[in-house]
Chains A and B, each alone.
Chain A
Amino acid sequence: MTEPTAPKGTTVVAEWVVKSPVLKGCSARAAAGFAAAAVALFALAPLALSDFRLGLLAKYLCTAMVAVGICLAWGRGGLLTLGQGVFFGLGGYAMAMHLKIADAGPGNLPDFMQLYGTATELPWWWRPFENPLFALAATVLLPMAVAAILGSFIFRRRVKGAYFAILSQALTAAFAIWLIGQQATTGGTNGLTDIQGFFGYDLNDPVNQRMVYFVIAAALLLLIALARQLIHSRYGELLVAVRDSEERVRFLGYNPANVKLVAYVVAAGMAGLAGALFVPAVGIISPAMIGIVPSIEFVIGAAVGGRASLVGAVLGAVGVAWAKTALSEEFPAAWTYFQGLLFIVALAFLPGGLASLVGIVRRRRAARAGGEPSPALPLGEAA
């Protein structure tokens, strides 16, 4: 095989990438994809969309960040985490707590504490969040630490599969109930609302809202790059091995608990960052973003787009979030049916998600071209 020359070789490259899995991590196609995404996110979207729609896109991109983590943990590692809401919430609250303190100004309590609380000063566990650097670090590190502790318990005891899914769901329910119960210090069901500033920038200013969008878009690309690196590294291969046969990996001398833990913790960090950036984009974080339903909704996007494919998961997350807005504007009842159908069709009949359609089409085309059909794309193949 010789090195293909652009541009004539583009389709050749595509074929070649599919046929040589060894090379799939390093294709020029991926780089071109990144470039296209960057152009779309940084140039086309801001030009084409109104401030309002761009704000919505920012929100969708936050969902996509969570989906990147889900793609890693579930698509690659087989860990169906129905509790990403916990980490999204931890990141979001860490960010919102700092912003509320900053909004209130030095020496003052955040507005809701004055209304509903009895305390005259900040609770001790709010204090560290006065420091912007601590808060920023906490948005990612706090969810990761929680995931590390939970995960090390859960995985070491070999709680897996459906048990893990149900347990993670129960945990997110417990976390939401706990948050709601602490109204005086967490804002209860209301959550933390009415966030005005973002590290000195006034969020009411549309220009700053735009900047928040750019930050989110950049963060998403960064997370995708990070996830790509992980997926195509030796670790990524090992993770797939653990997904497919945990015991076998154990007999090779690895501790699968640690392998899974890394994916779980990284996914948690990604959800945390998403939650943190969701706050300036939407101006609110509340238990409504944390319970069982939002946690499952995070999974929908990844499942529909293709759990094992980064591009699929990200596009799926954005697409489903967009469909929700668009459909629920006109037909709220229809949205629920549509959402249910999406789940059923995507998972029962197209387990690789929409991303697997690309593979199917490509194989068809290859077959028609007279070449030998390339082997069926397994779940983890398209990226």
Chain B
Amino acid sequence: MSSGSSGFSSFKGSRFSRRRVTAGAAALAAVVALSACGAKTDAAGGSSDKAAKADTSGDTVKVGLLNSLSGTMAISEVTVRDSLKLAIEEINASGGVLGKKIKPISEDGASDWPTFAEKANKLIKEDRVVATFGCWTSASRKAVKPVFEKNKSLLFYPVQYEGLEESPYIFYTGATTNQQIVPALDYLKSEGKKSIYLVGSDYVFPRTANKIIKAYAKANGMKVLGEDYAPLGSTEFSTIANKVKASKADAVFNTLNGDSNVAFFKEYKSAGLTAKSMPVVSVSIAEEEVKSIGSQYLAGQLTAWNYYQTTTGEANTEFVKAYKAKYGQDKPTSDPMEAAYTSVYLWKAMVEKAKSFDPEKVKAASDGITFDAPEGKVTVDGASQHIYKTARIGKIGSDGLIEQVWDSGKAIKPDPYLKGYSWASGLS
């Protein structure tokens, strides 16, 4: 075919115009981009400070609730969100904070760490909240930590965790390792358990916890007979159950998370292992999880927390009553929920002592703040921004509730880096 056909001659013409337009567009884009940057460089400093500053002008103040309402973590985090809302309602009913009502802004972290960072940014910059409550997994906390630090805004984190962290803008109201894992080991030791097997999900908390356990065991004459990790969400535990059984350990230390616990305990029972022959101490199984695994498989097994629904005391009776009244009689209360509930009251007390919502002033006022929490009296340690907590070992009953069988007697001073324990010196 000759190239003189109509199609091809206009082909050339079109190319020509395309070049021209493209060149024009590129030049325009470049100019616009440069000018946009130039302008922003001058203005940015002022405007961004203003944007990040919390809004305390009206007669309400906003706080952020940052929890996974969808995805795999929603199971646990929704309960935390519910108990945060309960605390806020109670505070508003009794007059609010510094005369201002609290307005909660709830955001969904969607069990996805970058989403947590995004939503934290939104709460601080768009909603201009005075403080944020929430996060559950270590990964989500690590993801938002720089956001709160960058914007100098406060996060209250309500879940037991692996320690080794002190962020100036986070208050940790769950247990650190020396308030949960170390006491649990003390308990096992006092019960005469000489050898243990470690089972955990493959993520930061179990791996760090097991590092601490191994150091403790070495210093205390206990043997660690095995250590196994299953990918998060893994539900095939027959091999691990075989390994545990073959090890003939005195006890199992379980740091599995979520769905994996269900499969693990079903397999554990099928293998003929019982709470009598080889007790399992779990640090991630609270009342809610007992409900979903079934006491058929769990009765007699041990847990380590700072609070149970059955914890005695006036404050807890009222908390449980209020929670069930609001969310249903069949809804149990658990440690992270209690820590979340407590965190709101602690924040209120700090604000009132500081007479300001300003994060810097709130931080400065935090040391020594106390609150009669459902778990008992808690005190804020201003230096580490953790709180003093009592450790409690519980036994799961056939009714699905957890009965306390041991406690540490007094609230333990938080020590996230385990500086007070000589055996832990090589850990970090």
A and B found bound together = yes
Shortest CB-to-CB span from A203 to chain B, Å, is: 9
Chain B 37-64, CB within 8 Å of chain A: the 1/0 string? 1001100100110010000000000000
In the complex, what distance in Å separates the CA atom of A254 from the CA atom of B33? 44
Please determine whether A284 and B113 come into contact, CB atoms closer than 8 angstroms.
yes
**B288 contacts the other chain (Cβ, under 8 Å)?**
no
A–B complex contacts, Cβ < 8 Å, 7 sampled: A27-B18, A34-B21, A115-B164, A116-B208, A214-B33, A214-B36, A329-B122
Task: Assess the A1–B121 pair: CB atoms within 8 A.
Answer: no
Of B10, B51, B147, B208, the residue contacting A51 (CB under 8 A) is B51
Using CB atoms, name the residue of chain B closest to A52. B125
Choose from A3, A191, A286 the contact partner of B14 (Cβ within 8 Å): A3
Nearest-neighbour CB distance to chain A for B350, whole angstroms, equals: 25
Which one of A27, A194, A286 lies within 8 Å of B114 (CB-CB)?
A286
**Interfacial chain A residues near B29, Cβ < 8 Å:** 35, 38-39, 41-42
- Closest B residue by C-beta to A31: B21
Q: Are the C-beta atoms of A190 and B125 separated by less than 8 Å? A: no
Segment at the interface with B among A139-147, A157-165, A181-189: A181-189
Please tell me if the beta carbons of A177 and B44 are within 8 angstroms of each other in the complex.
no
CB distance from A317 to the nearest CB of B (A): 16
Which B residues lie within 8 Å of A196 (CB)?
A: 146
A116–B21 touching, CB < 8 Å: no
**Complex Cα–Cα for A205 and B26 (A):** 27
Residue B142, interface by CB 8 Å: yes
Contact mask A119-143 → B, CB, 8 Å, 1/0? 0000000000000000000000000
B117 to chain A, nearest CB (A): 6
Q: How big is chain A's contact interface, by range? A: 35 or more
Complex CA distance for A39 and B143, rounded to whole angstroms: 33
Taking beta carbons and an 8 Å cutoff, which residues of B are in contact with A? 6-8, 10-11, 13-15, 17-22, 24-26, 28-29, 32-33, 36-37, 40-41, 44, 47-48, 51, 69-70, 107-108, 110, 112-114, 117-119, 121-122, 125-126, 137-139, 142-143, 145-147, 150, 164, 202-204, 207-208, 229, 231-232, 428
A190 touches which one: B6, B26, B32, B139 (CB < 8 A)? B139
Complex alpha-carbon distance, A286 and B114, angstroms: 8
0 or 1 for each of A318-354: is its CB under 8 Å from B? (1 = yes): 0000000100110011011000000000000000000
Distance between Cα atoms of A322 and B18 in the complex (Å): 32
Q: Judge if A223 is at the interface, Cβ distance under 8 Å.
A: no
Check if A104 is an interface residue, CB within 8 A of chain B: no
Contact present for A56 and B118 (CB under 8 Å):
yes
Q: A23 an interface residue at 8 Å Cβ cutoff?
A: yes
- Give, as a whole number of angstroms, the nearest-CB distance from A50 to chain B: 7
Residue among B29, B207, B231 with most chain A CB within 10 A:
B29
Chain A residue contacts of B26, Cβ below 8 A: 38
Query: Are B7 and A1 in touch, CB under 8 angstroms?
Result: yes
Out of A2, A35, A325, name the residue touching B118 (CB < 8 Å): A325
CB <8 Å contact, A115 and B18:
no
How many A-B residue pairs have C-beta atoms within 8 angstroms? Tell me: 186
| 0 or 1 for each of A199-238: is its CB under 8 Å from B? (1 = yes) | 0000011110011001000100000000000000000000
From B41, B51, B113, B202, name the one whose CB has the most chain A CB atoms within 10 angstroms: B113
CB closest residue in chain A, given B15: A26
Known A193-B143, A193-B146; contact A26-B6, beta-carbon cutoff 8 A: no
User: Interface SS of chain B: helix, strand, loop or mixed?
Assistant: helix
Chain A's closest residue to B428 (CB) is A115
| Contacting pair B7 A189 (CB below 8 A) | no
Contact call B70/A180, Cβ cutoff below 8 A: no
Residue of B with least CB distance to A45: B36
Q: In the complex, which residues of chain A have a beta carbon less than 8 angstroms from the beta carbon of B112?
A: 288
Q: Is A149 an interface residue (CB 8 A)?
A: no
For the complex, give the distance between the alpha carbons of A47 and B33 in Å.
11
Chain A residue contacts of B146, Cβ below 8 A: 193-196, 283
What 0/1 readout, one digit per residue, does chain A (66-94) give for beta carbons within 8 Å of chain B? Answer: 00000000000000000000000000000
B-facing residues in A228-283 (Cβ within 8 Å): 282-283
A288 touches B113 (CB 8 A): yes
A34 to B28 Cα, complex, angstroms? 11
- For B118, the chain A residues whose CB sits under 8 A away are 56, 59, 282, 325
Chain B residues, Cβ within 8 Å of A306: none
Does any Cβ of B come within 8 Å of A43's Cβ? yes
Q: A27-B18, A114-B428, A283-B117 are in contact. Are A188 and B24 (CB under 8 A)?
A: no
Which A-B residue pairs are the 9 nearest by beta carbons? A35-B25, A38-B29, A31-B21, A3-B13, A43-B32, A189-B203, A332-B108, A332-B69, A52-B125
Q: How many Å lie between the Cα of A284 and that of B10 in the bound state?
A: 50
Beyond the given A28-B14, A31-B18, A38-B25, please list 19 additional residue pairs across the A-B interface where CB-CB is below 8 A. Answer: A22-B11, A28-B18, A31-B19, A34-B21, A42-B36, A50-B51, A115-B164, A183-B203, A189-B137, A190-B138, A191-B113, A194-B142, A206-B44, A282-B114, A282-B117, A286-B114, A325-B118, A328-B110, A332-B70
Q: Is the CB of B33 within 8 A of A180?
A: no
Chain B hits for A181, CB < 8 A: 202, 229, 231
Query: B51, A1: Cβ atoms under 8 Å?
Result: no
Chain A residues positioned under 8 Å from B20 (CB to CB): 31
Neighbouring B residues of A51 by C-beta, 8 Å: 44, 47-48, 51, 125
B44 and A210 within 8 A (CB): yes
Residue pair A180, B202 in contact (C-beta under 8 Å):
yes
Contact with B along A14-41 (1 / 0, CB 8 A): 0000001011001110111011001101
Taken together as a complex, chains A and B put the C-alpha atoms of A43 and B38 apart, in Å, by 12
Q: How far is the CB of A274 from chain B (nearest CB, A)?
A: 13
A contact residues around B70 at 8 Å (CB): 328, 332-333, 335-336
Given contacts A31-B22, A39-B29, A51-B48, contact A286 B113 (CB under 8 A): yes
Q: How far is the CB of A201 from chain B (nearest CB, A)?
A: 12
CB distance from A59 to the nearest CB of B (A): 7
Give the contacting residue for B117; candidates A177, A183, A214, A284; CB below 8 A.
A284
> CB distance B37 to A1 under 8 Å?
no
Is A151 an interface position by the 8 A CB rule?
no
- Residues on the B chain within 8 Å of A210, using CB: 36-37, 40, 44
CA–CA, A325 to B44, complex, Å? 25
Q: Which residues of A contact B11 (CB under 8 A)?
A: 22-23, 26
Q: Does A55 contact B (CB under 8 A)?
A: yes
B14 vs chain A, min Cβ distance (A): 5
CB of A150 within 8 Å of the partner chain: no
Complex Cα–Cα for A329 and B6 (A): 55
Q: Which residues of B contact A59 (CB under 8 A)?
A: 114, 118
- Give every chain B residue within 8 A of A177 (Cβ-Cβ): 202, 231
CB distance from A298 to the nearest CB of B (A): 14
Question: Which residue from chain B places its CB closest to the CB of A289 in the assembled complex?
Answer: B114
In the assembled complex, A46 has its CB within 8 A of some CB on chain B: yes
Residue of A190, A195, A328 touching B204 (CB-CB under 8 A) = A190
CB distance from B72 to the nearest CB of A (A): 10
CB–CB A35/B21 < 8 A: yes
